[in-house]
């Protein structure tokens, strides 16, 4: 099945944990937007106090060709990022004109701050508040309440995705170099 997933939400809501677990469950490629921004030094251009829309669109431009190649193999992709600019999401949708699923993770600010404090590399209360304000200014896709056990959140997300059996069967068919009508 040729599709991608966007896991978005505020800092400390559990995006990376959930995105990595979903990636493993659906045999998808995991892509962290923050790593693309860092690798290409795109986090330095700001707009209204946040990393600029232009920087995120540039990250999309960088990753889209690679993502298309991955999707062409039948391997799904899970993107992990704040996606706090709606324009970043719509730009990625245009660049990757494929079936996709978007999940907005929501948790109270206090939960996000508490989770951020537990990280090895904390971003701090001010950053958590700022990103929370921006990323929760709109919802996009399916909203998932993450102020509960991670496994429940994962089951909710998996319930919106194509059945895993279709993905595995398609990969086996491609590996055998014949079409099987999936």
Per-residue pLDDT in tens (0 to 9) along the chain, 182 residues: 689 999 999 999 999 999 999 999 999 999 999 999 999 999 999 999 999 999 999 999 999 999 999 999 999 999 999 999 999 999 999 999 999 999 999 999 999 999 999 988 889 999 999 999 999 999 999 999 999 999 999 999 999 999 864 544 444 444 433 333 32
CA distance 135 to 65: 26
19 CB-contact burial (10 Å; exposed 0-12 / middle 13-18 / buried 19+): buried
What sections of 75-163 are H helices per DSSP? 86-95, 109-117, 125-135, 150-158
Contact, 83 vs 6, CB < 8 A?
yes
> pTM of whole model > 0.85?
yes
Quote the distance between the C-alpha of residue 2 and its chain's center.
16
Structure tokens at 142: 């399916």
Classify domain 4-175 at the CATH topology level. Answer: Rossmann fold (3.40.50)
């Amino acid at each position: 099945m040729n599709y991608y997933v966007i896991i978005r939400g505020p800092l400390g809501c559990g995006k990376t944990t959930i995105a990595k677990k979903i990636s493993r469950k659906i045999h998808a490629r995991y892509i962290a937007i923050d790593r693309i921004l860092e690798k290409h030094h795109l986090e330095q251009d700001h707009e209204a106090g946040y990393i600029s829309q232009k920087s995120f669109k540039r990250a999309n431009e960088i990753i889209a060709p690679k993502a298309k190649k991955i999707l062409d193999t039948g391997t799904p992709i899970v993107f992990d990022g704040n996606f706090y600019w709606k324009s970043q999401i719509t730009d990625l949708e245009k660049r990757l004109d494929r079936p996709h699923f978007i999940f907005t993770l929501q948790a109270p600010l206090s939960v996000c701050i508490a989770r951020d404090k537990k990280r090895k590399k904390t971003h701090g209360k001010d950053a958590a508040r700022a990103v929370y304000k921006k990323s929760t200014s709109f919802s996009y896709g399916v909203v998932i309440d993450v102020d509960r056990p991670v496994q429940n959140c994962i089951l909710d997300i998996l319930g919106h995705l194509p059945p895993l059996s279709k993905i595995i069967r398609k990969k086996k068919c491609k590996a055998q170099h014949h079409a099987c009508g999936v």
